[in-house]
Amino acid sequence: MKSNFKNAIAALTFGLALSVAPMIASAEDSSDPIIIPIHNWSSQIVMSHVVGQLFQKLGNSVEYVSTDSQAVYEAVRQGDATLELEVWEGAFGASFNAALEKGGIHDAGDHNAVTREDWWYPLWTKESCPGLPDWKALNECAAKFATPETGDKGRFLGGPVDWLKHDAERVDALDINFTVVNAGSAAALWAELASAEKTKRPVVIFNWTPNFVEALYPGEFVEFPKWVEGCNKDPSVGPNPDKTYDCGNPATGYLKKAAWDGMKDKWPKAHTLLTKISFTNPQIAEMAKLVDIDEMEPEDAASAWLKANESVWSGWLK
């Protein structure tokens, strides 16, 4: 009786092994390169290389492609890029949602990180404009932020145009006495900050967290009317009944990963790894720091980060 039972189990196990084997064989990842899009801020570039190097540890090949940070959602939807590692709610939530609605892209899970992207000032700015962080103080102090370029209006130095596209609409909707000037690169924002620091000149620039900036410059975000769902679409939402964008960005935004729907079938192992990946605020700030303060090349920063943080990622490869 007992040995019959054992035989039955053995036969069952053998049968299972036979039927499972082809499934495992078909679950091999394609040898085609996984296309990883790279944008124009350091944490995203370093994180892309960190994850690319993890894919390589699985045996995958990867290719990095420089891509516009809004157009990338359409590229992922079409399978031209395989994934996106930093979907920031404030800057990209709308483009991501639009692509989700069209189909072909999916949410591959949240990072642990909580994000914020908005108008920001280094703390010395408050001495010239003590009503901050309330946004209404910007109007009282506009002249202190004026430059030859902006006349008697204050200057807000925004990021490159592919990040947040609606600063000018917000200025209009909230009737802020400021002009939006877009920086050509993230580096131009940091150069402005370093230059302002020399004479403690008041400045308002675009900034975000997690970032390396918090380790170098204490500062605060301007508090605009709180973000509410629909503020960017429905004029009746927010304090100005006639205009959209009359609110700040989310103060506790998400940071998501996204993937092309076809990734699950073409690179199943890499896709499983992608869904497990989750970075924290300090980890992402560190990735930015390696490039923006330590001046490492992104590839080298990624290798150094992986070497110093094996306990973070080793479990994800199992």
**Which residues make up the interface to ligand TMO (CB under 6 A)?**
41, 88, 91, 117, 159, 163, 208
CB of 68 to ligand TMO, least distance (A): 12
Question: b vs e for 72-105, b when ≥16 Cβ sit within 10 Å of the residue's Cβ?
Answer: bbbbbbeeebbbbbbbbbbbbbbbbeebeeeeeb
Cα distances (angstroms) measured from residue 72 to each of 33, 50, 83, 95, 299: 17, 19, 9, 9, 21
Which residue's entry shows tokens 């990624």?
302
Number of helical H runs and strand E runs in the chain = 14, 10
CB of 159 vs ligand TMO, minimal distance in Å: 6
CA distance 128 to 114: 30
Query: At closest approach, how far in Å is the CB of 91 from ligand TMO?
Result: 4
Q: How far, in Å, CA of 89 to CA of 300, rounded?
A: 28
Q: Between 208 and 267, whose beta carbon lies closer to ligand TMO?
A: 208
Reduced to 3 states (helix: H, G, I; strand: E, B; else coil), residue 143 is helix
146 or 181: whose CB is closer to ligand TMO?
A: 181
Q: Which residue number, 210 or 271, has a Cβ lying nearer to ligand TMO?
A: 210
CB of 46 to ligand TMO, least distance (A): 13
With respect to ligand TMO, which residue has the nearer C-beta, 39 or 77? 39
Tokens of 30: 């394609």
Nearer to ligand TMO, 171 or 183 (CB): 183
Name the strands in the sheet holding 219-221, side by side, starting at the edge strand that comes first in the sequence. Answer: 178-182, 154-158, 204-209, 116-122, 219-221
Instruction: Provide the minimum distance between the beta carbon of 147 and ligand TMO in the complex, in angstroms, as a whole number.
Output: 23
Smallest gap, in angstroms, from Cβ of residue 288 to ligand TMO? Answer: 9
Nearer to ligand TMO, 141 or 189 (CB): 189
- What DSSP string describes 299-318? HHHHHHHHHHTHHHHGGGG-
- Residue 87 vs 129, nearer CB to ligand TMO: 87
Q: How far apart are the first and last CA of the chain?
A: 39
Nearer to ligand TMO, 199 or 252 (CB): 252
Smallest distance from ligand TMO to CB 117, Å: 4
Q: Which is nearer to ligand TMO, 206 or 267 (CB)?
A: 206
Burial 184-206 (b: 16+ CB within 10 A, else e): eebeebbebbeebeeeeebbbbb
CA distance 44 to 42: 5
Tell me how far, at minimum, the Cβ of 86 lies from ligand TMO, in Å. Answer: 7
Report in angstroms how near the CB of residue 142 gets to ligand TMO at its nearest.
24
Phi first, then psi: give them for residue 36, nearest 5 degrees: -110, 115
Paired with 114 in beta bridges are: none
Q: How far apart are CA 86 and CA 109, in angstroms?
A: 11
